[in-house]
Amino acid sequence: MSQARVLTERELRKVLNFCNTQPHATRNRTMLLCTHMAGMRVGEVAALTVSDVLAMDGTVKEEIALSAQQTKGNRARTVLVPKKLRDELTSYLQQRYGLTNLLAVTQTDTQRALFPTQKNPKRGFTANTLCQLFHKIYKDSQMYGATSHSGRRTFITKLADKGVGVRVLMALAGHKSIATTQRYIELNPTIMKAAVELI
């Protein structure tokens, strides 16, 4: 079975532009970017609550502490949230709750699903329903071969291409072994050609 497609920056922009034309654009865009910018698993994204990402002062956290119940393999882990993703999460939360209400949300709404569905706004997506939604978004944006795992593979491959060491990648991905992380990395022919020129 072939691995999930790794997206280029241009391909990811195409998917995000497609999202912007669809219902629930901000929510869907933000969910996708959680996988592409933070390397989160789809099940982890589905399990997020408002309190996981929103600090008591109404700002988006720089680190998301996932409990063992929210992760694969029942191992708690911390997800680092880059500034671009914090900005996306802030925009999404402002759209959902209103520009001035984020501080109030920290007092009242923190255990609600971060990404609610129309049918179940309190519990939100399951890992399976979110996988199906991602599959539809990728297919409808003509990103054939992309799956719910594409965001994680893209995240790990992009960082590897920029010279981030495999031990750091392993920690960022929440893997138990380096071998697992290495399987995620897609070899980039351009980088391979540049590597041999270093000789």
Query: How many domains does the chain divide into?
Result: 1
Question: For residue 183, what pLDDT band results from cuts at 50, 70 and 90?
Answer: confident
141 located within any domain: yes
Question: Would you state the pLDDT for residue 195?
Answer: 59
164 located within any domain: no
Q: How many whole angstroms separate alpha carbon 32 and alpha carbon 42? A: 9
Q: How many whole angstroms separate alpha carbon 128 and alpha carbon 134? A: 10
* Res 198 pLDDT > 70: no
* Res 164 pLDDT > 80: yes
List pLDDT tens digits, range 62-121.
Answer: 999 999 899 887 888 999 999 999 999 999 998 887 756 666 666 666 678 999 998 876
Here the CATH number for the domain that contains residue 87 is 1.10.443.10
Domain containing 55: what range? Answer: 9-150
Q: How many whole angstroms separate alpha carbon 83 and alpha carbon 113? A: 22
185 located within any domain: no
* Res 191 pLDDT > 70: no
SS3 63: strand
Question: Would you state the pLDDT for residue 179?
Answer: 76
179 located within any domain: no
159 located within any domain: no
44 located within any domain: yes
Q: How many whole angstroms separate alpha carbon 95 and alpha carbon 11? A: 26
Q: How many whole angstroms separate alpha carbon 88 and alpha carbon 105? A: 17
* Res 140 pLDDT > 90: yes
156 located within any domain: no
Question: Would you state the pLDDT for residue 163?
Answer: 86
Question: Would you state the pLDDT for residue 62?
Answer: 96
* Res 1 pLDDT > 60: no
Question: Would you state the pLDDT for residue 166?
Answer: 84
Residue 72 and residue 43 in contact, taking contact as beta carbons nearer than 8 Å: yes
Mean pLDDT of the chain: 87
